[in-house]
A and B are shown apart, each in its own frame.
Chain A
């Protein structure tokens, strides 16, 4: 049996962590774009479309991420689309992210004072102009902290993709743990690496939140 030094373990975990970061980035960015579109439909679309978006959000918030991944991973091949774990993970996490961001941002848009809508309407603005010049800039200010905060959930969510066989940090941890028989050390290191990725984001989110409160006071 080969001897693994702590450095071997950490080095291999670091290699795998790149996939965790990449997956998080893709899910967050693409999910954000999708969320923006969904948000528009939710606030400006017909009642029907708006309801559909609401259902979409509730579906993703009311079921386990793991099930969402399973359904994509096992369901897509049935309609003729073969998916690798990477594709399924990316797709699943993106959809998951889009649902949560839609909900977070909707809260922000709604928290913009109703008087702002009315005031801008009396100035003759149409919906797009109201959104573009009045509502979104304010919602953005409110929304940035919870959005950064949610990015932590996305990073942690990537761990679940290990279960459908995508080799990111957690999956690599399992594999190394099986090879080294040192689960305590390996999972400890895995946890530390996640912490190193997530904690700065959490801190940043908290700082933003503090700033916002100070400004509005």
Chain B
């Protein structure tokens, strides 16, 4: 059984149907890149996997359990699924260390020393050993995003969702964040990332998912998908990137 199983997910905003029946299985250790045009529903899909958007129809199973609409179901889901946002969304009133420690302490009821040990480990891992007591506004965008990754990791999720984690960054800061993501992938972390960095996707991911108009249009190993797109839409999309 897969770690996350989406079945026939439908989602509309008002009259606009954004997800038109998504089926997707995410296996342990899989690294998936979600690509597609702006507005194709990539973010919405990630947000439904994290329970930030309700779904109109379909089922989400996480670790063999169906996600219902109780609040506790959502919390269960989120203990398994972490998320990193385009805009970092660090908590401005906490230091980097406190940002990472907070949720393990209040949600998982870890002791302070326990939470701190894990938080420090995670911050070291993302290369911020020397920035722990900095507040978010004292950090660069790249550093903030790495704190956000550490914050999500400290909850020990089984899947990490990344929504365009480098899109809000200045070009020279992109690589330090990508390096962290790459390292996570190499360590076997299960990842689903929306990205426009096609080269990175090709190098790091084992599965490419191309979304188009709220549907999964094509899916497969990156090399194969890029080399010979089966549909004109993907060919077009790939061609458009090259040109």
Indicate whether A and B are direct neighbours in the complex (CB within 8 Å): no
Which residues of B are interface residues toward A (Cβ below 8 A)? none
Which residues of A are interface residues toward B (Cβ below 8 A)? none
